[in-house]
């Protein structure tokens, strides 16, 4: 009976399971690392997780709209290379930094628009299309910045690390991200987004501009990839033309752990934010639990599979008991 | 006009024609590109990709967003198992190969159970499994890759076997015939296409859907492990990311060969043509001796172009 009720809640609030998991992993992490909630540790963790959080936020929007973006990591590499390789130097003035950030966002939206055009208007399959375009963006990254190096103004990293009012600066940014999502969901685009991902044919029949909505999800994904690249660039203070390559798959796992369904039409960025914290905390636990070095990858993967299995198992058990 | 041609020519035929055209286009760029040695070399390289893409073809035909991202890790595992268990002894292959294939099939079956029984989306299930396999490799080897490649593998796979043709080409042809028989001449093949088109109607007409899906992923794992064995015959040594670089090219080969990602439609000989096209493009770009940045950009554009020739989905208006 309790399982049944849990299942009904889980259906209505897709991120309920993520929330449960979040509490459990945070408790385990806290028991292993009592300093977890101290300002310094909290700030360090959130700072490390924030770039991937932004990337996964964009991925969430694409996935809700029924697509997927395998070029997300390559877009991060490209924007990082652009920022360090041609837009900024260690001596850039604040005005130049602002201009550089705006150009970076524009570049992200432009490549996102290329993805969106191919998927929404040329009707190409999202997985292979974004995989193919990822080569183009990776190539541009290598063209702009052939080898790792470069620097950006040190002030940026200081601000990123600061703790105004004893709250990490990143927390304000995360709150902004969540407010953005709540606002977006309330707009007409937000309604169209869920309709497009859930029932594209029905949505089309009832006058939703399905193709345009799909196009916009990829533009937003490009924008978020650019923002992720900006945060990452500030965080590491240097450039690497392959820096984002490994982030794509992590962003997808975070979205799914956060309760968004890969089939589209359901989910949200709040769940994804939790998904990122869950993944990061799991990695903390592994490093604090003295897991032998050679076993870390296996333990990490097993925990992630367990996290993915959770919601499905609840459904399965429920069916068995009916 | 183009639409008519497209209707008459199936994607595998287009891909094959494209491969031949590309090969001779290579001659325009570099006359040394067009000769028998080079052709054999390209077919040999395509054979590795094609064998690794065989299981992926089956999984993608099975539909419901079917995809197997654990293939790269299983290829590596298969190669490492053969490398370690045989330890360079020809006779030891008699048990090393079955163990490697069984390990691949088991991993694939676990993927299938997670996907069809528990209901995890294939993309993340197999991605998670890739991590588990990579992790298991690290635990088992502790980073020490000891072992050896039996000399017979080099003779049978990468050295010229009949005339100038290396054995891997014949192995690939055999895999092609076996895949064709499996897909077109067995009950499993018929059921697989039925499951790919529509799982509900398949179930209602008596197909045991979960069994077919689990068997499909198990076959994918088995074929990936076999791909690892074949690849080992070529590289003669193993490293921790041996199979990784083949994962997405294998998926691209399947799609370029006309197998639809939404499932229920496709062929292995399309995948074979796709593998040839991809290998040719790669060889051409290398022959042009461009910077890596340009190579990547051109490859990306060509892939988008190839996908847009026949990878299009149906219009909502229809």
Q: Which of B118, B251, B295 to probe the A interface (max A CBs under 10 A)?
A: B118
- Could you tell me the residue ranges of all domains in chain B? 8-309
The mean pLDDT value for A18-28 works out to 87
Per DSSP, the three-state class of B312 is strand
Restricting to A residues 55-74, those with a Cβ less than 8 Å away from any Cβ of B are: 68
Output the pLDDT for position A224: 96
> Tell me: the pLDDT tens digits for A53-89?
999 999 999 999 989 999 999 999 999 999 888 877 7
- Give the minimum alpha-carbon distance from A95 to chain B in angstroms, rounded to a whole number: 31
> Tell me: the pLDDT tens digits for A282-308?
888 888 888 888 888 888 888 888 878
> Tell me: the pLDDT tens digits for B148-184?
888 888 888 887 878 788 889 999 999 999 999 999 9
Test B131 with A261 for CB contact under 8 angstroms.
Answer: no
Chain B residue whose CA is closest to A256: B124
Of A128, A261, A305, the CB nearest to B311: A128
Q: Pick the residue with more confidence: A190 or B5?
A: A190
Work out the mean pLDDT of chain B and round it to a whole number: 87
Test A309 with B295 for CB contact under 8 angstroms.
Answer: no
Mean pLDDT highest for which of A13-27, A97-111, B14-28, B287-301?
Answer: A97-111
Chain B residues with beta carbon closer than 8 angstroms to that of A74: none
Restricting to A residues 95-124, those with a Cβ less than 8 Å away from any Cβ of B are: 118, 122-124
Establish if A11 touches chain B: CB-CB under 8 angstroms.
Answer: no
Output the pLDDT for position A309: 80
Chain B residue whose CA is closest to A115: B304
Chain A residues with beta carbon closer than 8 angstroms to that of B131: 297-298, 300-301, 304-305
Establish if A220 touches chain B: CB-CB under 8 angstroms.
Answer: no
pLDDT above 90 coverage of chain A, percent: 32
Model confidence at A152, pLDDT cuts 50, 70, 90, reads confident
Chain B residues with beta carbon closer than 8 angstroms to that of A124: 304, 307-308, 311-313
> Tell me: the pLDDT tens digits for A257-268?
888 888 888 888
Test B118 with A301 for CB contact under 8 angstroms.
Answer: no
Establish if B183 touches chain A: CB-CB under 8 angstroms.
Answer: no
Output the pLDDT for position A1: 46
Reduced 3-state DSSP string for chain A? CHHHHHHHHHHHCCCHHHHHHHHHHHHHHHHHCHHHHCHHHHHHHHHHHHHHHHHHHHHHHHHHCCCCCCCHHHHHHHHHHHHHHHHCCCCCCHHHHHHHHHHHHHHHHHHHHHHHHHHHHCCECHHHHHHHHHHHHHHHHHHHCCCCECCCCHHHHHHHHCCHHHCCHHHHHHHHHHHHHHHHHHCHHHHHHHHHHHCHHHHHHCCCCHHHHHHHHHHHHHHHHHHHHHHHHHHHCCECCCCCCCHHHHHHHHHHHCCCCCCCCCCCHHHHHHHHHHHHHHHHHHHHCCCCHHHHHHHHHHHHHHHHHHHHHHHHHHHHHC
The mean pLDDT value for A213-219 works out to 94
Is pLDDT at A117 greater than 90 in this prediction? yes
Mean pLDDT highest for which of A39-48, A238-247, A280-289, B101-110?
Answer: B101-110
Output the pLDDT for position B85: 92
Establish if A140 touches chain B: CB-CB under 8 angstroms.
Answer: yes
Model confidence at B99, pLDDT cuts 50, 70, 90, reads very high
Output the pLDDT for position B227: 95
Distance CA B156, CA B153 (A): 5
Distance CA B244, CA B239 (A): 10
Q: Which of A82, A135, A214, A313 to probe the B interface (max B CBs under 10 A)?
A: A135
Is pLDDT at B31 greater than 80 in this prediction? no
Output the pLDDT for position B241: 87
Establish if B318 touches chain A: CB-CB under 8 angstroms.
Answer: no
Work out the mean pLDDT of chain A and round it to a whole number: 85
The mean pLDDT value for B79-107 works out to 93
Restricting to A residues 266-285, those with a Cβ less than 8 Å away from any Cβ of B are: none
Establish if A24 touches chain B: CB-CB under 8 angstroms.
Answer: no
- How far apart, in Å, do the first and last CA atoms of chain B sit? 21
- How far apart, in Å, do the first and last CA atoms of chain A sit? 10
Chain B residues with beta carbon closer than 8 angstroms to that of A129: 304, 307, 311
Mean pLDDT highest for which of A52-66, A196-210, B3-17?
Answer: A52-66
Model confidence at A195, pLDDT cuts 50, 70, 90, reads confident
- Give the minimum alpha-carbon distance from B8 to chain A in angstroms, rounded to a whole number: 21
Which pair of tokens denotes residue A78? 């490209």
Is pLDDT at B129 greater than 80 in this prediction? yes
- Which H or E run contains B28? helix B11-29
Distance CA B282, CA B290 (A): 11
Output the pLDDT for position A285: 87
Of A124, A131, A146, the CB nearest to B252: A131
Output the pLDDT for position A12: 54
Which pair of tokens denotes residue A207? 């006058």
Chain A residues with beta carbon closer than 8 angstroms to that of B127: 249, 252-253
Query: By the 8 A CB rule, do B261 and A128 touch?
Result: yes
Query: By the 8 A CB rule, do A138 and A74 touch?
Result: yes
Is pLDDT at A5 greater than 70 in this prediction? no
Chain A residues with beta carbon closer than 8 angstroms to that of B142: 294
Of A131, A142, A262, the CB nearest to B248: A131
Establish if B248 touches chain A: CB-CB under 8 angstroms.
Answer: yes
> Tell me: the pLDDT tens digits for B228-243?
999 999 888 888 889 8
Test A295 with B139 for CB contact under 8 angstroms.
Answer: yes
Test B135 with A302 for CB contact under 8 angstroms.
Answer: yes
- The secondary structure of residue B246, as a DSSP letter, is G
Chain A residues with beta carbon closer than 8 angstroms to that of B296: 135-136, 138-139, 142
Establish if B146 touches chain A: CB-CB under 8 angstroms.
Answer: no
Distance CA A110, CA A103 (A): 10
Is pLDDT at A225 greater than 60 in this prediction? yes
pLDDT above 90 coverage of chain B, percent: 43
Is pLDDT at B70 greater than 50 in this prediction? yes
Output the pLDDT for position B33: 73
Is pLDDT at A105 greater than 60 in this prediction? yes
Test B300 with A142 for CB contact under 8 angstroms.
Answer: no
Test B314 with A312 for CB contact under 8 angstroms.
Answer: no
> What φ, ψ does residue B312 adopt, rounded to 5°?
-80, 145
Output the pLDDT for position B8: 58
Establish if A309 touches chain B: CB-CB under 8 angstroms.
Answer: yes
Q: Helices H, strands E: what count in chain B? A: 14, 2
Which pair of tokens denotes residue B281? 């493009």
Model confidence at B226, pLDDT cuts 50, 70, 90, reads very high
Q: Pick the residue with more confidence: B207 or A4?
A: B207
Output the pLDDT for position A216: 94
Chain A residues with beta carbon closer than 8 angstroms to that of B128: 253, 301, 304-305, 308
Model confidence at A199, pLDDT cuts 50, 70, 90, reads confident
Output the pLDDT for position A52: 94
Which overall architecture, per CATH, does domain B8-309 show?
Orthogonal Bundle (1.10)
Output the pLDDT for position A58: 95
Chain B residues with beta carbon closer than 8 angstroms to that of A308: 120, 124-125, 128
Chain A residue whose CA is closest to B137: A298
- Give the minimum alpha-carbon distance from A164 to chain B in angstroms, rounded to a whole number: 38
Is pTM beyond 0.95? Reply is no
């Amino acid at each position: 009976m309790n399982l049944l009720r849990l299942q009904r809640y889980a259906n209505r609030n897709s991120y309920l399971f993520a929330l449960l998991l979040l509490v459990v992993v945070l408790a385990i992490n806290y028991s292993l690392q009592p300093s977890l909630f101290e300002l310094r540790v909290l700030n360090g963790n959130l700072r490390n997780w924030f770039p991937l959080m932004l990337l996964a936020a964009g991925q969430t929007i694409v996935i809700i709209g029924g697509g997927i973006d395998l070029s997300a990591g390559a877009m991060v590499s490209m924007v990082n290379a652009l920022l360090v390789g041609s837009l900024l130097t260690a001596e850039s003035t604040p005005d130049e930094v602002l201009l550089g950030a705006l150009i970076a966002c524009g570049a992200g939206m432009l490549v996102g628009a290329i993805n969106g055009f191919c998927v929404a208007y040329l009707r190409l399959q999202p997985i292979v299309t974004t995989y193919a375009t990822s080569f183009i963006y990776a190539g541009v990254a290598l063209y702009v910045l052939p080898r790792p190096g470069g620097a950006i103004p040190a002030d940026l990293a200081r601000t990123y690390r600061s703790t105004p009012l004893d709250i990490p600066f990143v927390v304000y940014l995360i709150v902004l991200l969540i407010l953005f999502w709540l606002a977006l969901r309330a707009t007409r685009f937000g309604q169209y987004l869920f309709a497009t991902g859930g029932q594209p044919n029905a949505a089309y029949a009832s006058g939703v501009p399905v193709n345009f909505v799909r196009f916009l999800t990829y533009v937003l994904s490009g924008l978020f990839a650019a923002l992720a690249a900006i945060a990452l660039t500030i965080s590491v203070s240097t450039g690497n033309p392959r820096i984002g390559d490994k982030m794509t798959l992590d962003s997808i796992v975070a979205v799914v752990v956060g309760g968004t369904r890969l089939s589209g039409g359901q989910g949200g960025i709040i769940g994804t934010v939790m998904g990122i914290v869950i993944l990061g905390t799991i990695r903390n636990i592994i490093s604090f639990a003295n897991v032998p070095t050679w076993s870390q990858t296996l333990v990490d993967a097993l925990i992630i599979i367990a996290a993915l299995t959770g919601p499905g198992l609840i459904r399965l058990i429920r069916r068995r008991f009916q | 006009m183009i639409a008519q041609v497209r209707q008459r020519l199936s994607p595998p035929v287009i891909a094959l024609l494209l491969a031949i055209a590309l090969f001779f286009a290579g001659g325009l760029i570099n006359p040394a590109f067009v000769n028998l040695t080079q052709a054999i070399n390209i077919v040999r390289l395509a054979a590795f990709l094609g064998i690794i893409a065989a299981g992926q073809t089956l999984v993608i035909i099975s539909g419901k967003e079917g995809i197997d991202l654990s293939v790269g890790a299983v290829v590596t595992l298969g190669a490492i198992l053969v490398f370690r268990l045989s330890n360079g002894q020809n006779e030891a292959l008699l048990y090393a190969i079955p163990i490697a294939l069984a390990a691949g099939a088991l991993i694939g079956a676990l993927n299938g159970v997670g996907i069809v029984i528990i209901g995890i989306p294939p993309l993340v299930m197999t991605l998670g499994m890739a991590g588990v396999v990579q992790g298991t490799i690290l635990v088992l080897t502790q980073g020490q890759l000891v072992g050896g490649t039996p000399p017979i593998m080099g003779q049978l796979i990468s050295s010229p076997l009949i005339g100038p043709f290396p054995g891997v080409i014949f192995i690939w042809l055999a895999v092609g015939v076996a895949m064709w028989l499996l897909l077109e001449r067995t009950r499993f093949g018929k059921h697989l296409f039925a499951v790919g088109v529509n799982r509900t109607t398949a179930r209602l007409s008596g197909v045991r859907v979960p069994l077919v899906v689990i068997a499909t992923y198990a076959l994918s794992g088995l074929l990936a492990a076999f791909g690892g064995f074949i690849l080992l015959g070529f590289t003669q040594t193993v490293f921790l990311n041996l199979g990784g670089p083949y994962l997405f090219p294998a998926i691209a080969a399947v799609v370029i060969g006309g197998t639809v990602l939404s499932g229920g439609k496709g062929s292995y000989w399309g995948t074979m043509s796709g593998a040839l096209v991809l290998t040719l493009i790669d060889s051409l770009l290398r022959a042009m001796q461009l910077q890596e940045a340009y190579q990547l950009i051109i490859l990306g554009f060509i892939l988008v172009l190839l996908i847009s020739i026949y990878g299009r989905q149906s219009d909502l208006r229809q």
